Amino acid sequence: MENIKIPSHVGIIMDGNGRWAEKRGKNRSYGHKQGSANVDAIVTHAFESGVKSLTLYAFSCENWARPKEEVDELMKLLKIYFKKFIKKVVNNDVRLRVIGGREELKPDLIKVIEDGENATKDNKKNNLNIAINYGGRQEVVRAVNKLIEQNQPITDQNISKNLDTAHCGDPDLIIRTGGEYRVSNFLLYQGAYSELYFTDVLWPDFNEVEFDKAIQSFGQRKRRFGKV
């Protein structure tokens, strides 16, 4: 894709795993497995395309309300894939971070997350943020509480500086797969001026070609930021 404007920070709402599986007469877990397996290819492709930072929505604060077996399966998969990811990104100059509320996660998952963050802390080329137990509203509340604790004024700049994605700047483009036209509590504050791209393609089917379509669409947008 030559001469195309590449977004620096891309957020992806990876939706549609359950429906992908149900269409095939399988259980939702099967869809989550396929969805997890798809992450690697998209991450690699996005960074190769010139995207600097990626934020992937893997588990929302509201997803805890799903049946316990599904939540357990998702947590298991997150642990397995995060471990795999560490090995892959550590040598590719990718800095891995998990964003969202950490306290509610199980100690064994926290351990894997901390290992990954530590192993990649000196990496500089790309940022990969995985949103786990993440919610945009909860993130703003955390940021504001931090400011209150530090006795700092509540300003737009200070809130922005204390968001989980402060190290990447605001997302330029947010992609949602799975056919729903909503943001489901993802990057609410920093997404104020993000370009949105929705596709009906379910996450396990979202491939490099589909990613390029989103980038092409972004390249055609005229971002005005309120100006003329």
User: What, of Mg ion, ligand IPE, none, does residue 19 touch, CB below 5 to 8 Å by kind?
Assistant: ligand IPE
Residue (15 or 172) nearer to Mg ion, CB: 15
**Does 204 help bind ligand IPE (rule: CB under 6 A)?**
no
Closest CA to 55 of 161, 162, 159, 174: 174
With 0-12 / 13-18 / 19 or more C-beta atoms within 10 angstroms meaning exposed / middle / buried, residue 23 is exposed
Decide whether 58 or 173 has the Cβ nearer to ligand IPE.
58
Residue whose CB is less far from Mg ion, 15 or 170: 15
Between 111 and 182, name the residue whose CB sits nearer to ligand IPE. 182
Q: How far is the CB of 115 from ligand IPE (least distance, A)?
A: 23
Catalytic residue among 3, 17, 38, 63: 63
Catalytic status, residue 15: yes
Judged by CB under 6 A, which stretch of 59-67, 82-90, 145-153, 210-218 contacts ligand IPE? Answer: 59-67
> What values do phi and psi take at 141, rounded to 5?
-60, -45
Asked if 128 and 43 touch (Cβ cutoff 8 Å), the reply is yes
Instruction: Say what the alpha-carbon torsion angle 23, 197, 34, 58 is, to the nearest 10 degrees.
Output: -120
Residue 145 token pair: 């509480």
| Binding span for Mg ion by CB under 5 A among 10-18, 27-35, 65-73, 116-124 | 10-18
d(Cα 192, Cα 75) in Å, to the nearest integer?
30
By the 8 A CB rule, do 161 and 142 touch? Answer: no
Q: Which of 88, 121, 167, 182 binds ligand IPE (CB under 6 A)?
A: 182
Q: Transcribe 169-197 into DSSP letters.
A: -S-SEEEE-SS--S-TTSSTTTTTT-EEE
Binder of ligand IPE out of 17, 55, 126, 133 (CB under 6 A): 17
- Residue identified by tokens 């690697």 is 40
Give the residue, chosen from 7, 15, 54, 203, that forms a contact with Mg ion under the rule CB under 5 A.
15
Residues that bind ligand IPE (CB under 6 A): 13-19, 57-60, 63, 74, 178, 180, 182, 184
- Active site members: 15, 63
